[in-house]
Each structure stands twice: as C-alpha cells, then as structure tokens.
Structure 1
Amino acid sequence: MRLVLTGGGTGGHIYPALAIGREAAEREPDTSILYIGTTKGLESRIVPNQGIPFESIDITGFRRSLSIENVKTVMRFVQGVRRSKQLLREFKPDAVVGTGGYVCGPVVYAASRLGIPTLIHEQNVVPGLTNKFLSRYADAVAVSFADSLPHFSGRRNVVHAGNPVASTVSKADRGRGFRSLGLADGTPFVLAVGGSRGAKALNEAILEMLPRLESLPNVHFVFVTGERYYEEALARLGELPTKLKGRVHALHYLNNMPEVLSAASLVVSRAGASSLAEITSLGVPSILIPSPNVTNNHQQPNAESLADAGAGVMILEKDLNGTVLFESVSAIMQDTARQEAMAAASKALGMPLAAGSIYEQIKGIANK
C-alpha cells in the first residue's frame, strides 16, 4: 500500500496518524508512507524522527471573527491545494488519511479532487471545523467516540472505530511499569499527569492535596509535573513530612507512559482524546479535569462521555482545588468495589483494535 498521512499541530492529531501508519506497515511490510504537514507544527519534528518521509505545505487556521487574516488563509488554502496535488501526483497514493488539524484541509480536499480515496479520523466527541468541512468530500469517516456519530449523519461510510493510539498501548507491560518506578508489583498508586507540558491548575491542586495523603497510608502518588513546573514542584514537595516523601514520586516526563498507566490504580488527567483512548484501552479508572483552554472546549464532552459511562469522574477546572481533588481520590482509592466497577466500565469503552479497524476501512476504500 502507498499511504499519505496528514494531521498536525498537536500530538493529539499526529500520534493517531502514526498509529495508523504503523498498523498498515505491520499488515503489509512493503507499505510506503508519506506524511504531509506544516513546518510550524510538532509533526515537523516528530515525524522525521520516526524515519517517515515528510513534506510540508504552508497553511493556517481560520479565525472565528472577521479578519484580514482569514482572507490570507483562503489564499494559503488555494496554494496548499495546489502544492498538495503536486505531492500526491508524484507519490501516487492508494489512499489519503487525515487525522485533524488545519493542514488536513488542503491535503484531503486535493486528494478528493484527484479521485484518490480518502478517510478522515475524528478523535474528539465534537468534531473540529476541518473535519466537519472534509466529511463532505471524504470516502470514509472513523470516529473515536460513539457520541460523535450524530455529527456525521448522512456522510459516507462512518464507523465507530476508536482511537488508533489505543492499539499501541494495549500491549503495555504492567510489571515493567511498577519496576520503572521502583515499586513492588501490585503497589496501589495514583498517576497524575497534565499532558507532556504539564498543567498549572492541575499541578497546583495536586500540590495542595499531597499533605493529606497521610490518611491514605498504603497509597503512592506518581506526579508527572511537566518540565517547566518540575523545579517548583520539587521545592514544594521538599516541605512534605518525611514519612510522605517516600510515597510521592515526582517526574518531569514519563518515557514509558503506557507501562506506568497500565500499572496505575487510578489516573488523574486532562481529557485529550488520545489520553482517554489509552486510559480506556487499559481499563484504568480516572478523574478527569478537562482543559478549558482548547478549541470549542472539546475536552469537556470527551470527559463527560467517560463520566456518563461510570468509567471516570469529571471535575471542571473552575471547581478544582486540593480539597475537591483529594476527596475524589480518597473516595475511589478507599472503595475497592468502586475501583473495580470503574475499571470494568473503562475497559468496556476501550477499543484496542482501533488501528486494525481503521486499516480495514482504508483497504475497503482503496480497493474500490
């Protein structure tokens, strides 16, 4: 198979695309992949490091108010379509897959105009503007959440496939997760992470609640601060009582997140689509604090989807503080039956075969 992947801006768009490419390469070892992104997005650094050929186009997103910049964006879109057609004619793909971000717009649109089969993948419950636009032209649509299906009613070949990153983490080694933290297998611990860069509001609530861990004597706490907050967090953690310090493990980043997540008793997290796909693939109970600083507040519907299923608890950032967070952590960690019920509900939402399902969709449209 010759496959073009496109998606950019954030890891939430890039890693699903890479997971789809990885699945295609595993199924068909002679697969050729080209990734089209922008030089300004994270994809320009992440994708080449994976050894995947990378080409760029110049495109920006629309602003939500009248602006001269939107006129320039239209011009960039037209130029981006022209550049995309050139790249597609040279590469001659069997299919083009878009996973979100404004770079997908000209690439997938150009492919549709050239008669190349196209699939778009939507990670969030509420679709982004680009995928809403592209769904009119795509030959297939894959969604991560069942709650997304009504947003694509009337479109062709819409499948609730899950998020392909779930397939990557489903084979994580739980024992290695414990060992990497220096913990004995089965040690109960809470994993708190605000994303790769950290989250100030979440970190502050965690630092406020940690002294209360004295009332949870057997529970450890793994606190992933993000690099820019790490030194400040270490200084604050130095003020903890000595008997607590051994149960709090502060890290600025986790290189083996799937392994540690698979070992966790509970995760405290933002509600990005890829994070939730990993959490549910592994069946981990969660406390979710959706970021209010994302487009269309799309993390809140993501978190609500898990909370409504009994797989997680949602706390809005405006309601978040150390007391509220500790009460939620304590209520779950001291109730084994509730933990087990949440884990089962989380696992029921998980779709570890997502990448394979999307691959079959791609093969279907390519064969047609």
Structure 2
Amino acid sequence: MSQPDTGAEKAAARTGPTVVVAGGGTAGHIEPALALADAVTRLRPEAKVVALGTQRGLETTLVPARGYPLELISPVPLPRKPTTDLLRLPLKVREAVRRTREVLDRVGADVVVGFGGYVSLPAYLAARGRVPIVVHEANKHAGLANKVGARFATKVAVAVPGTPLPGAEVVGIPLRRSITALDRPALRAEARRHFGLDPDAPTVLAFGGSQGARSINTAVSGAAKAFADAGVGVLHAHGPKNTVAVQEFPGRPAYVPVPYLERMDLAYAAADLVLCRSGAMTVAEVSAVGLPAVFVPLPHGNGEQALNAEPAVQAGAALLVPDEKLTPATVAEQIVPLVTDAERLGKMSAAAVGLGHREADEVLATMVLEAGGHGW
C-alpha cells in the first residue's frame, strides 16, 4: 500500500505556490487577507491560497463567498488582563498550534501570512522554523499576535509609518480591486437604483462596521426629519443584529435602512458623504474612493481608531466626531449642512486623493511570493 504524500511532497509536485492566510474574526482582518489572496492569484494564476479561520468569525461566510478554501482551527483569545482564561491559554495555544501544523503540512504551505487576530498567533507559532512568515499590521498600535509574529517573520509589512514592529515596511492596506478601481460617478445612477435611493438628492451613507454601532444608529435615525427637511437621502447599514425605527416622509428623499451592505462598491458610489467608524480598513477604503467622511472612532480599545482617522482629518478629507458627542442634534447641525454643501464636499474629496496605497495588494503579494521562494 502506498504511503500518503507529505506536505513537502505535495508542494514539490505542484507548479505554483501555496499561500496560507490567517486573518479571521472581523472584516477588518478578513478583507485585507482576501484582497491579498486575489492579488496573489492574479499575479500567479497557478497559485493556491488557503485561509485559516475559526467557527465564530465572519470568515465562515466571507471566505467561501470569495471562492477560497477555509480551514478551521480553535480560536485563541488573548485576554488583556489576568483572568482564569489566561491560566487556560497555554493549553488552548498548544491545541491550536497542533491543528494548524496539520493544516500547513496537508496543504503544503510555502508561506504563511498573518493579519492579526485570534487565528494569527497559532499560525505564527505553527509556522515558526518550518514555513516563512509574513506579518501585516493594519493599525499603528500593533496587536499582541503580530508583535509575537514579527519576532521571527521573514517580512513585516505595515499600513502606516511609525508602527513599532522590527523591520517594518510601509505598504498600506490591501483592498479589493472593486474598491480601488471604483468609478463612483459612472456607477452613481446604478447604485442609487440598486438601493432605492433618490437619483439626484445629496446622500449620506452611514454604517458602524460589519455589526453596526448603537451610537451611529441612534444619532442618524434620530435625525431622519432633519435629513428629510433638507432634501437629503440616507443609506443606513445598522447591523444584522440591530433594528432601527425610522419615520417616513412622503415626497422626500428615501431613508433606506439595511442590515448589511453586500455591495460596498455600490454603497460608496451612491453616497456623497459617509458617516462611519474609523477602523483601519474603512479609512483606507473611504480614502481610496475619494469620499468625504465624518469619522466616529470606536471609544474603546487603545485609541487606534482615532489614530487611523488622523491623516484624513489633517488633510482636510474628513471630520472627526467623538462617539460621546454624536447625537441626533449633532447630525442635524453638522452633517446635514455638510452634505448639502457641494463645494465643500468637492474640496474634501480632492483632499482624499493620494492618501491611500492603491497598489498595496500587489505590493504585499509580491513580498509574500518572494518570501515563499516564488518571486520573479
């Protein structure tokens, strides 16, 4: 009876590289990983990309929808404070690392790319000394997993200057080509029809990340009358677990609440102004498409969302409103006058040009292929 091939034998039998991406949990980790996957397969069509994830993350939906195989491992939460979870962590890490090594061997991984989050730590530990590692950090303040991974990575890529990781190279955040190549004016009419929005009215796009944000939901829906009176349309993604009650005003531009935005490209094309959180990926996308923005940083964590918004605010492409100051009155007094001021919006849009790294996906893909021994 023949013996099953080892991961190394499988890799040797292939003509293209196998890249394993680890970026599960939130869209902020998953979308850059998928944008990299798209760039790798665009540059090297014979390449295979496999994603690592957990059962609890959005990757169980997002990864298969993009056509990539998903391998599930146990999540390894990293508690910030001493708790009983911290005492159990070594056992959880060992089991996750064991499972991850099995995956790396079975798929014949040539390189592992981590984007932070629950999945990246076991991926880095499983790959250490076996498979080249590339780390990508989207925030100025690196997370614990990426701090660990950067110690023994072949390459370290970061989104912004000043990120304190050893040997970091600034590449930006990999974004989908549907975003970086988006022609907002050309898609505007189609986008407005898609969402049932007024074809001509100034329009605000409001969202709070993939799960929604209570403060944004409350403030924007509470200002529905102010929007209607000013002739402003609203596209509001409130999150799949949330609902908003919005009064209708016949004859006025539509206020369209939706649980989730499957087509962010059309959402951006439909909008004249965006009101949203300032996660690293969101700021990168909004800047890339040239949308004027009002950023409302998440009030928790280590303040990274405010740091993410800072370059756009300083460039004049965005405003920043602290979460505790976002109310229906604030929206009526600041957001409504802004979205109806075409001249000011034009200046903010122009200021957004050049803020992002539109080629970050292919720059990182080239780095990854070279780290795995499959460069040009």
TM-score after normalising by structure 1? 0.88
SS in 1 for 2:218: helix
Q: Which moved more, 1:177-186 or 1:127-136?
A: 177-186
Q: Note if contact 2:27-2:210 (Cα within 8 Å) is conserved in structure 1.
A: no
Shift of 1:194: 1.9
**2:138–2:158 contact (8 Å) kept in structure 1:** yes
Q: Which residue, 114, 122, 127 being the options, matches 2:142?
A: 127
CA distance in 2, matches of 1:138, 1:360: 16
**Residue 358 (structure 1) aligned with residue 364 (structure 2):** yes
Matching residue of 1:71:
87
Cα-to-partner distance string for 1:123-144 (whole Å, 9 max, x where unaligned): 2232111112211111112222
Q: Unpaired runs of 5+ in structure 2? A: 1-16
- Aligned AA (2:302): N
Match of 2:219 in 1: 205
**Could you say if the C-alpha distance between residues 68 and 227 of structure 1 is closer, same or farther in structure 2, counting changes exceeding 3 Å?**
closer
Note if contact 2:196-2:254 (Cα within 8 Å) is conserved in structure 1. no
Indicate the residue corresponding to 1:142 in structure 2: 157
1:166–1:350 CA contact under 8 A, matched in 2: no
Find 1:35's aligned residue among 37, 45, 51: 51
1:179 aligns with 2:193: yes
- Corresponding position: 1:242 with 2:250: yes
Asked if residue 265 in structure 1 is aligned to residue 280 in structure 2, the reply is no
Q: CA deviation at 1:196?
A: 2.9
Q: Distance in 2 between the 1:258 and 1:334 partners?
A: 22
**Are 1:47 and 2:63 matched, yes or no?**
yes
Work out whether 1:227 is the aligned partner of 2:240: yes
Are the aligned partners of 2:205 and 2:234 in contact in 1 as well (CA < 8 Å)?
yes
Whether contact under 8 Å (2:141, 2:163) holds in the other structure is no
Which residue number in structure 1 is paired with residue 345 of structure 2? 339
Offset from partner CA, 1:136-173 (integer Å, 9 cap, x none): 11111222233xx3422xx23x2221211254412335
Corresponding residue for residue 162 of structure 1: 172
CA distance in 1, matches of 2:325, 2:197: 33
Q: Which residue of 1 aligns with 2:320?
A: 314
- For residue 157 of structure 2, give the secondary structure of its aligned residue in structure 1: strand
Instruction: Provide the C-alpha distance between the structure 1 equivalents of 2:222 and 2:368, rounded to a whole number of angstroms.
Output: 48
Pairwise CA distance, 1:49: 3.8
Closer, same or farther: CA 186–347 of 1 in aligned 2, 3 Å: farther
SS in 1 for 2:223: helix
> Structure 1 pair 48/181, CA: closer, same or farther in 2 (3 Å)?
closer
Contact 2:51 2:69 survives alignment (8 Å): yes
Given the superposition, is the C-alpha separation of residues 67 and 58 from structure 1 closer, same or farther in structure 2, using an over 3 Å criterion? Answer: same
2:35 partner letter: A
2:285 to 278, 281, 290: 278
Aligned AA (2:37): G
Deviation at 1:283, TM superposition (A): 0.7
Shift of 1:334: 4.0
Given that 1:283 and 1:350 are in contact with CA atoms closer than 8 Å, whether structure 2 keeps it comes out as no
Letter aligned with residue 225 of structure 2: P
How big is the shift at 1:215? Answer: 5.3
Asked if 2 retains the 8 angstrom alpha-carbon contact of 1:122 and 1:144, the reply is yes
Write the deviation string for residues 27-74 of structure 1: whole angstroms up to 9, x where unpaired. 111111222222232223432343322222224222222223212112
Aligned counterparts, 1:97-116, within 5 A: 97-114=113-130, 116=131
Number of residue pairs aligned between Structure 1 and Structure 2: 354
Task: Note the alpha carbon deviations across 1:163-206, whole angstroms, 9 max, x for none.
Answer: 11254412335323233234576643111112233222111111
249-258 vs 198-207, which moves further:
249-258
C-alpha displacement at 1:350, in angstroms? 2.2
The counterpart of 1:296, out of the listed 299, 302, 309, is 302
- Larger displacement relative to structure 2 (8-17 or 48-57): 48-57
1:95 shift after superposition: 1.2
Cα separation, 2, equivalents of 1:130 and 1:310 = 34
- Partners of 1:68 and 1:253 lie apart in 2 by 35
List runs of 5+ in structure 1 lacking aligned partners: none
Q: Which amino acid aligns with 2:296?
A: I
Amino acid at match of 2:154: D
Per the alignment, do residues 229 and 45 of structure 1 end up closer, same or farther by CA in structure 2, a change over 3 Å counting?
closer
| Shift in Å, 1:364 | 2.5
| 1:137 to 1:42, Cα distance in 2 relative to 1, 3 A | same
- SS of aligned partner of 1:80: helix
| 1:60 is aligned to 2:66 | no
Q: Which amino acid aligns with 1:324?
A: T
**What SS is found at the alignment partner of 2:302?**
helix
What per-residue deviation string (whole Å, max 9, x for no partner) do you get for residues 108-130 of structure 1? 2321221x221111122321111
Identity %: 31
Aligned pair partner of 1:256 in 263, 274, 286:
263
Q: Secondary structure at the match of 1:223?
A: strand
TM-score, normalized by length of structure 2? 0.86
Cα RMSD (Å) of the superposition?
2.2
